[in-house]
């Protein structure tokens, strides 16, 4: 869910997308997930994204974090797609974000791309004729025949090439992949993740090419109706623990300061079984704030996360405080985190990604449908 | 107050206050000159700035522009050129709005994503944020300026009918355009998604221009070269270049208007000269006293220059205000002319800046100082002893025509020299030198003319005694009367010259139309008539016209600007056959046109040939999308449609090098017996659904061309009227001065038995004599001035030849109505003279 909001927010950089859902297919129960078909685009839904974050390590011990995202925002509903001669009449807008966190150098680097794809410079493949699920300029996500993925992103200063292989089955969030967003029917998305993707490749940072390996988190979600009015932002956690389990939590904040009841999470056991977590099972406490010098926003970058029903208690911190994507007019914080704590009384460590939105002013697009 | 200022105050300010009417006329004369000059300048600059602002609005923050009808596949190629930071495409068209006759929108297809970095305006939706999803998915969705929306009562969600290329289409307002970094200078600007714009215009695959941002905008040369090398025929340059080109095109037109406006200022110079001269003559005694008490000569000069400034300063202020008001009236006419002759321009607001006003102030003050210089110098030369001796003051008035006419002859010689130079190898502006020296000669002939006129009256004893007396008095005050006469003569000369020139031009144009426009019907999208040639006829219409059995033939026409070795040039593309309808200069048109239609050669218009100094046998090189094309010029023909000239090419050759078969209008030749009216109705009936077209008959087209012509010269109409008004004001001024100055003398006439009627008759006679003499001199000078304008200025500036054609009736009437105007102007001074109290006036004697 949080990604839907993020999508709207990000597009708010330049303009907003309306909430007109007419002609688009809504996410409903009973979707039969089938891979690799479902790695490809779902053009009948209005929005869709492929989202990679990960913790990587070089042979010499240096650590890096990354984020690569591909977004699709539909502009013409299936019923509106009359044949046009102009190549500029397209069905969707393509855009993405790319970040690299250099932990030892304490440096954070980000860039974004937004393209119409009129010349085929950006698009989404059906994985039949084209092995690329998504591409955006020279950024791409390619699926190989053996089910593994290749990710490439570059912005001149940094170039990332990764080969990803899922160590666990795909995880379906919510109710068998239907992630409900609100109490109103139809406000939901189809949502699955690769919660532990073994990653190996190279990172070109400046003039240096570094061999890297580590673990990534992959989200793929498509939907049409999602936004709930009155929300001011959200906090999202993805955690990979060293006991072979993973945790995903999102906490939606309302403008009145309360937490939205739709907030939820998933706990993935070592064997891949998924347990859905309701809001009342979660206890999230911010313990440290960092203020951006660029946007003056104050982000809660360290947390105490407790899930009593799982006997899980974690302290979330980050080695690099400044991981803010200071984009105009909307900025957000998304960065690599370190996790220490206990599960069932035993010490656990881990890493992951934290996303904090709505701290640097109002999140554009959220307030519109009210 | 310092002593000198006190002296100035006592001598000038008090004097001016006593002669308020006189002062008012002086102020008004300067004000009028300044107002006209300023109005012309503001109107012209507003037009050029409006055009430039339109270019800027489309180009935004681009450093370079790839122009012409560009194949959109060049876009990614341009984006890959090293040194290019960003590229976006733009497609432009004019959409007429039939619901408001005469209204239109400049539709500009923009790419919202890549264009965001270029945009200087903002698109806003009133009900929430601008929705790009809707923008990209709504066919016919537009963003219009807030100003336009308010003017036409439109809002978000409004639908409006528009006509593009003769087709009726539906537009929907999705957003309003607000000023971003720069004000949106053109209220008729409308943005549209590039995809839907291509669909609407049926121009998939093409863009009007690619806008380019550079990594290093200060050094664009290398990137420019690399982009130009991507494909043949790509025109690359800074967007500003386009406004500059239009600016250059307009320069000749503007120079003409500005030169005309200077004439009114020249008349102002004469008036100031006259007034200060009177003031000096009247105050010789006071000057003598001032000199006797030790005031240095240069301070005396300062006093009289100061007097001129007292007229100039309020004159400039008044003129500035009047100029802005007049500019509002003029800018509509200038906009019409520019759109008819050069490029579509929409002047929403006047362009005012301090430079215009400063220059106007300098001109006004300069003119006053220039006019007062001679009399002020004369005052500074007054010897105290002489001035204080009674009777001597009359001496200055007993002047003769002296050697002025010799100078006049010299001016004639210089004028001839300038004309010769302008017509041969000299710069074009020399043509105005010729006009100036003709005017100068006319002014210098004024004393001689007045002397001759007075002498003539004296010889002709048959005239009434009032006239005889008036002639005597005029010849006695020759110097001052001559200045008034010179001013009036210059204004009349200007008037006559313009009348003769426009008459000749219209006559030549009419003859050209008579020969050139011979088809039975001319059919084009209606927008082409109102907003310049920007729209195309649907191919189905062309096919329909050609297939009709009543049509013997249907010739097609289109025009576009193309790059050539002479710079951007207007290319006219014809499809059909030569019908002996062009007037070729010195060679056989039939064979020249045969070569054009067979694709072997091109012909050029006379302005093109003159401008680029080419002749039959010269070659023109075009940069076409398929590479360079060199073609021989097989003929030069007379044409008045465009002073920049054009090149005519056969459609077969054009289509081989440009992949574009669209046409802008069709000339239909009917079979004998077929009715043009029925044919036109049948066409309208068949294509009423597809859009709005104009179907012109030979006659209506001729009328239309002449209407455009008359519109163009409407501005000169205003100017010449103003010049005459200023000059007539001069008569009023001179007569008023004369009456106040000689109240004693006039009272003496009354005392000796002349009734009030006799006295006013005297004043009126003097004015009549002055008026008639000036009018005759003006007409005599106006004819050679007209020759300069038609034979020198027009070929030198516009490149076309006009046959001189005299409007005899108008010429004959000129002295009559100038005489009438002079009498009307003298009516008030005559009344003043008649009502003078004899006893009081003679009290001093």
CATH code where residue A177 lies: 2.40.370.10
Question: Under an 8 A CB cutoff, do B132 and A116 touch?
Answer: no
Distance CA B834, CA B829 (A): 9
Q: How far is B85 from chain A (nearest CA, A)?
A: 13
Q: What is the DSSP string of B242-294?
A: HHHHHHHHHHHHHHHHHHHHHHHHHHHHHHHHHHHHHHHHHTHHHHHHHHHTT
Distance CA B544, CA B558 (A): 18
State how many domains chain A has: 1
Q: Helix-strand-coil percent breakdown of chain A, rounded to 5? A: 5, 55, 40
In a domain, A287, yes or no: yes
Residue A158 has pLDDT above 90, yes or no: yes
Question: Under an 8 A CB cutoff, do B133 and A17 touch?
Answer: yes
In a domain, A368, yes or no: no
Q: Which residue of chain B has the CA closest to A16?
A: B131
What three-state secondary structure class fits B130? coil
Question: Under an 8 A CB cutoff, do B132 and A88 touch?
Answer: no
In a domain, A369, yes or no: no
Q: Judge residue B6's burial from the number of C-beta atoms within 10 Å of its C-beta, 0-12 exposed, 13-18 middle, 19 or more buried.
A: exposed
Question: Under an 8 A CB cutoff, do B112 and A74 touch?
Answer: no
The pair of three-digit structure tokens given for residue B809, joined into one six-digit string? 């009736």
Q: What is the DSSP string of B184-219?
A: ---TTEEEEEHHHHHHHHT-TTEESEEEEEESSTT-
Chain A positions in Cβ-Cβ contact with residue B199 (cut-off 8 Å): 84-86, 89
pLDDT tens-digit readout, A224-278: 865 566 677 789 999 999 999 999 998 888 888 888 888 889 999 999 999 999 8
Is A13 at the interface with chain B, CB within 8 A?
no
In a domain, A223, yes or no: yes
In a domain, A177, yes or no: yes
What three-state secondary structure class fits B727? helix
Residues recorded for chain B: 845
In a domain, A102, yes or no: yes
Is A93 at the interface with chain B, CB within 8 A?
yes
Instruction: Evaluate the omega torsion of the peptide bond into residue A36 and state whether it is cis, within 30 degrees of 0.
Output: yes
The pair of three-digit structure tokens given for residue B537, joined into one six-digit string? 């006829």
Q: Is the dihedral of CA B449, B451, B454, B460 positive or negative?
A: negative
The pLDDT assigned to B249 comes to 63
Q: How far is B200 from chain A (nearest CA, A)?
A: 10
Distance CA B638, CA B582 (A): 7
Which of B220, B252, B254 is CA-nearest to residue B83?
B220
Question: Under an 8 A CB cutoff, do A84 and B195 touch?
Answer: yes
Q: Which residue of chain A has the CA closest to B90?
A: A88
Is A86 at the interface with chain B, CB within 8 A?
yes
DSSP annotation of B545: H
Half-sphere exposure of B491 (CA within 13 A, CB side): 34
Question: Under an 8 A CB cutoff, do A86 and B130 touch?
Answer: no
The rounded average pLDDT for each run of 10 residues, N- to C-terminus, in chain B (845 residues) is 75 74 77 83 82 76 84 91 92 87 87 84 73 86 90 91 86 84 70 94 89 89 89 80 69 68 73 78 80 84 86 90 86 73 72 86 90 86 73 46 80 90 78 86 88 86 82 80 83 85 84 80 79 80 89 88 85 85 80 88 89 89 86 88 84 87 88 85 80 79 78 70 72 77 78 82 88 90 86 77 85 88 87 77 61
CB B304 within 8 A of CB B286: no
CB B363 within 8 A of CB B34: yes
Distance CA B631, CA B564 (A): 11
Specify the DSSP element, H or E, that contains A44.
Answer: none
The pair of three-digit structure tokens given for residue A220, joined into one six-digit string? 């793929």
The count of other CB atoms within 10 Å of the CB of residue B116 is 17
Say which of A18, A86, A88 has its CB closest to residue B133.
Answer: A18
Q: Is the dihedral of CA B130, B131, B134, B136 positive or negative?
A: positive
Distance CA A314, CA A304 (A): 6
Report the mean per-residue pLDDT for chain A: 86
pLDDT bucket at A185, cuts 50 / 70 / 90: low
Is A14 at the interface with chain B, CB within 8 A?
yes
Is A365 at the interface with chain B, CB within 8 A?
yes
ipTM: 0.85
Residues 6 or more apart whose CB falls under 8 angstroms from that of B10 comprise none
Specify the DSSP element, H or E, that contains B332.
Answer: helix B297-341
What three-state secondary structure class fits B753? coil
Is A75 at the interface with chain B, CB within 8 A?
yes
Chain A positions in Cβ-Cβ contact with residue B76 (cut-off 8 Å): 119, 121
Residues 6 or more apart whose CB falls under 8 angstroms from that of B281 comprise B393, B396, B397, B480
Question: Under an 8 A CB cutoff, do A88 and B111 touch?
Answer: yes
Q: Which residue of chain B has the CA closest to A83?
A: B199
Phi-psi region of A89 (alpha: psi -120 to 50; beta: other; left: phi over 0): beta
Q: How far is A81 from chain B (nearest CA, A)?
A: 9
Q: Which residue of chain A has the CA closest to B196?
A: A89
The pLDDT assigned to B480 comes to 72
The pair of three-digit structure tokens given for residue B56, joined into one six-digit string? 């800027």
Q: How far is A226 from chain B (nearest CA, A)?
A: 16
Distance CA A205, CA A156 (A): 9
The pLDDT assigned to B398 comes to 45
The pLDDT assigned to B712 comes to 67
Q: How far is A354 from chain B (nearest CA, A)?
A: 29
Distance CA B420, CA B423 (A): 5
Mutate to test the interface with A, among B143, B195, B196, B205 (most CBs of A within 10 A): B195
Q: How far is B723 from chain A (nearest CA, A)?
A: 57
Question: Under an 8 A CB cutoff, do B132 and A16 touch?
Answer: yes
Say which of A74, A86, A93 has its CB closest to residue B113.
Answer: A93
Chain B positions in Cβ-Cβ contact with residue A75 (cut-off 8 Å): 132-133, 136-137
CB pairs under 8 A between A and B: 85
Q: How far apart are the first and last CA of chain A?
A: 18
Question: Under an 8 A CB cutoff, do B112 and A18 touch?
Answer: no
**What's the 3-state SS for A175-233?**
ECCEEECCCCCCCEEEEEEEEEEEEEEEEEECCEEEEEEEEEEEEEEEECCCCCCCEEE
Say which of B129, B135, B199 has its CB closest to residue A84.
Answer: B199
In Å, what is the CA distance from A251 to each residue of A11, A49, A278, A365?
A: 22, 20, 11, 18
Residues 6 or more apart whose CB falls under 8 angstroms from that of B813 comprise none
Distance CA A229, CA A234 (A): 13
Which of B827, B512, B548, B516 is CA-nearest to residue B682?
B548
- B660 φ/ψ angles, rounded to the nearest 5 degrees: -155, 115
Place of tokens 């509106």: A80
In Å, what is the CA distance from B697 to each residue of B60, B464, B503, B582?
A: 43, 59, 24, 19
In Å, what is the CA distance from A271 to each residue of A173, B184, B625?
A: 16, 63, 65
Mutate to test the interface with A, among B132, B180, B196, B210 (most CBs of A within 10 A): B132
The pair of three-digit structure tokens given for residue B248, joined into one six-digit string? 């250059």
Specify the DSSP element, H or E, that contains B564.
Answer: strand B551-564
In a domain, A125, yes or no: yes
Say which of A75, A85, A116 has its CB closest to residue B133.
Answer: A75
Question: Under an 8 A CB cutoff, do B113 and A84 touch?
Answer: no
Q: Which residue of chain B has the CA closest to A47?
A: B133
**Cα dihedral B78→B82→B86→B92 (10° resolution):** -30
**What's the 3-state SS for B63-119?**
CEEEECCEECCHHHHHHHCCCEEEEEEEEEEEEEECCCCCEEEEEEEECCCCCCCCC
Mutate to test the interface with A, among B93, B130, B133 (most CBs of A within 10 A): B133
In a domain, A365, yes or no: no
A165-184 average pLDDT score: 84
Specify the DSSP element, H or E, that contains A115.
Answer: strand A107-115
Distance CA B238, CA B209 (A): 12
Domain that holds residue A38: 2-360
A160-175 average pLDDT score: 94
Report strand pairing: A231-241 vs A346-360. antiparallel
The pLDDT assigned to B396 comes to 45
Higher pLDDT, B803 or A195: A195
Is A174 at the interface with chain B, CB within 8 A?
no
Chain A positions in Cβ-Cβ contact with residue B113 (cut-off 8 Å): 14, 93, 114-116
pLDDT bucket at A309, cuts 50 / 70 / 90: very high
Question: Under an 8 A CB cutoff, do A368 and B128 touch?
Answer: yes
DSSP annotation of A79: G
């Amino acid at each position: 869910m949080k990604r839907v909001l993020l999508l709207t927010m990000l597009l708010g950089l330049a303009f907003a997308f309306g909430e007109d859902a007419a002609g688009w297919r809504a996410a409903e129960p009973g979707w039969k997930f089938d891979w690799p078909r479902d790695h490809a685009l779902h053009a009948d839904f209005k929005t869709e994204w492929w989202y990679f974050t990960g913790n990587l390590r070089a042979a010499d011990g240096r650590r890096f974090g990354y984020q690569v995202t591909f977004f699709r925002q539909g502009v013409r509903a299936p019923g509106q797609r009359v044949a046009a001669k102009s190549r500029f009449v397209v069905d969707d807008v393509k855009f993405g974000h790319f970040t690299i966190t250099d932990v030892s150098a304490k440096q954070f680097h980000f860039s974004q791309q937004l393209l119409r794809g009129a010349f085929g410079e950006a698009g989404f493949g059906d994985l039949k004729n084209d092995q690329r699920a998504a591409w955006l300029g020279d950024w791409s996500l390619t699926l190989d025949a053996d089910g593994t993925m290749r990710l490439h992103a570059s912005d001149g200063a940094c170039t990332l090439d990764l080969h990803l292989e899922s160590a666990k089955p795909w995880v379906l969030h919510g109710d068998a992949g239907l992630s409900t967003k609100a109490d109103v029917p139809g406000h939901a998305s189809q949502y699955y993740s690769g919660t532990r993707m073994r990653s190996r490749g190279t990172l070109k940072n400046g003039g240096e090419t570094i061999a890297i390996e580590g673990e990534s988190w992959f989200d793929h979600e498509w939907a049409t109706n999602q936004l709930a009015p009155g929300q001011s932002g959200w906090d999202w956690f993805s955690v990979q623990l060293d006991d072979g389990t993973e945790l995903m939590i999102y906490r939606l904040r309302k403008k009145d300061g309360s937490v939205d009841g739709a907030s939820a999470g998933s706990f993935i056991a070592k064997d891949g079984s998924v347990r859905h977590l309701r809001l009342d099972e979660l206890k999230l406490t911010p313990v440290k704030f960092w203020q951006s010098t660029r946007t003056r926003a104050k982000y809660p970058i360290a947390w105490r996360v407790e899930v009593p029903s799982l006997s899980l208690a974690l302290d979330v911190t980050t080695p690099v405080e400044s991981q803010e994507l200071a984009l105009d007019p909307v900025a957000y914080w998304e960065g690599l985190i370190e996790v220490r704590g206990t599960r069932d009384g035993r010490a656990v460590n881990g890493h992951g990604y934290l996303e904090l939105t709505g701290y640097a002013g109002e999140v554009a697009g959220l307030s519109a449908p009210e | 107050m310092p002593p000198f200022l006190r002296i100035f105050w006592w001598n000038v300010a008090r004097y001016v206050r006593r002669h308020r009417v006189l002062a008012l006329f002086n102020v008004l004369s300067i004000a009028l000159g300044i107002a006209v000059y300023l109005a012309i300048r503001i109107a012209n600059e507003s037009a050029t700035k409006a055009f430039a602002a339109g270019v800027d609005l489309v180009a935004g923050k681009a450093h370079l522009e790839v122009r012409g009808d560009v194949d959109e596949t060049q876009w990614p190629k341009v984006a890959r050129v090293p040194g290019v930071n960003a590229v976006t495409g733009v497609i432009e068209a004019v959409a007429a709005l039939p619901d408001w006759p005469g209204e239109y929108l400049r539709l500009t297809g923009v790419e919202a994503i890549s264009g965001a970095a270029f945009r200087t305006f903002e698109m806003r939706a009133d009900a929430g944020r601008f929705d790009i999803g809707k923008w990209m998915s709504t066919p016919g969705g537009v963003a219009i300026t807030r100003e336009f929306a308010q003017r036409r009562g439109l809002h978000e969600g409004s639908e409006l009918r528009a006509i593009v290329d003769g087709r009726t289409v539906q537009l929907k307002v999705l957003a309003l355009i607000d000023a971003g970094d720069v004000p949106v200078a053109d209220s008729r600007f409308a943005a549209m998604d590039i995809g839907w714009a291509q669909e609407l215009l049926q121009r998939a695959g093409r863009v009007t221009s690619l806008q380019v941002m550079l990594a290093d905008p200060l050094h664009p040369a290398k990137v420019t070269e690399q982009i130009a090398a991507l494909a043949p025929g790509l025109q690359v340059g800074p967007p500003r270049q386009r406004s500059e080109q239009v600016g250059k095109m307009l320069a000749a037109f503007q120079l003409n208007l500005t030169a005309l406006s200077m004439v009114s200022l020249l008349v102002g110079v004469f008036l100031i000269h006259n007034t200060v001269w009177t003031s000096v003559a009247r105050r010789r005694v006071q000057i003598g006293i001032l000199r006797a008490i030790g005031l240095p000569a240069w301070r005396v000069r300062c006093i009289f220059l100061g007097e001129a400034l007292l007229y100039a300063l309020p004159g400039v202020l008044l003129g500035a205000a009047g100029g802005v008001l007049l500019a509002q009236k003029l800018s509509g006419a200038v906009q019409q002319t520019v759109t008819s002759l050069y490029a579509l321009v929409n002047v929403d607001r006047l362009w005012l800046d301090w430079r215009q006003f400063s220059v106007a102030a300098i001109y006004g003050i300069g003119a006053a100082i220039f006019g007062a210089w001679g009399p002020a110098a004369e005052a500074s030369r007054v010897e105290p002893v002489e001035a204080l001796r009674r009777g001597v003051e009359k001496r200055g008035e007993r002047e003769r025509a002296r050697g002025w006419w010799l100078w006049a002859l010299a001016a004639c010689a210089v004028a001839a020299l300038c004309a010769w130079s302008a017509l041969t190898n000299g710069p074009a502006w020399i043509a105005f030198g010729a006009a100036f020296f003709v005017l100068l000669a006319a002014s210098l002939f004024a004393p001689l003319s007045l002397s001759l006129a007075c002498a003539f009256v004296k010889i002709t004893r048959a005239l009434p005694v009032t006239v005889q007396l008036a002639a005597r008095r005029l010849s006695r005050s020759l110097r001052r009367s001559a200045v008034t006469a010179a001013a009036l003569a210059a204004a009349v000369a200007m008037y006559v010259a313009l009348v003769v020139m426009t008459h000749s031009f219209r006559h030549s144009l009419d003859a050209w139309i008579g020969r050139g426009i011979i088809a039975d019907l001319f059919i084009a999208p209606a927008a082409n008539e109102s907003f310049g040639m920007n729209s195309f006829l649907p191919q189905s219409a062309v096919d329909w016209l050609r297939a009709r059995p009543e049509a013997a033939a249907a010739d097609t026409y289109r025009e576009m600007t193309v790059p050539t070795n002479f710079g951007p040039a207007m290319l006219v593309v014809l499809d059909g056959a030569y019908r002996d309808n062009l007037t070729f200069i010195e060679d056989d048109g039939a064979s020249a046109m045969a070569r054009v239609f067979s694709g072997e050669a091109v012909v050029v218009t006379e302005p093109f040939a003159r401008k680029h100094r080419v002749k039959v046998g010269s070659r023109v090189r075009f940069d076409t999308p398929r590479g360079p094309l060199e073609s021989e010029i097989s003929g030069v023909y007379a044409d008045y449609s465009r002073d920049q000239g054009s090149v005519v090419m056969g459609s077969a050759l054009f289509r081989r090098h440009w992949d574009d078969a669209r046409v802008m209008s069709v000339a239909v030749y009917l079979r004998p017996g077929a009715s043009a009216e029925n044919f036109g109705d049948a066409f309208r009936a068949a294509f009423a659904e597809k859009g709005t077209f104009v179907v012109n008959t030979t006659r209506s087209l001729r009328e239309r061309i002449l209407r455009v012509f008359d519109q163009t010269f409407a501005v000169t109409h205003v100017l010449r009227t103003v010049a005459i008004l200023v000059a007539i004001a001069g008569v009023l001024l001179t007569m008023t001065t004369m009456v106040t100055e000689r109240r004693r003398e006039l009272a003496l006439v009354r005392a000796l038995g002349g009734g009030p009627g006799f006295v006013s008759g005297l004043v009126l006679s003097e004015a009549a004599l002055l008026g008639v003499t000036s009018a005759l001199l003006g007409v005599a000078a106006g004819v050679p001035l007209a020759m300069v304008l038609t034979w020198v200025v027009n070929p030198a500036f516009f490149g076309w030849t006009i046959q001189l054609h005299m409007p005899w009736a108008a010429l004959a009437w000129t002295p009559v109505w100038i005489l009438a105007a002079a009498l009307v102007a003298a009516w008030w001074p005559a009344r003043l003279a008649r009502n003078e109290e004899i006893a009081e006036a003679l009290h001093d004697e």
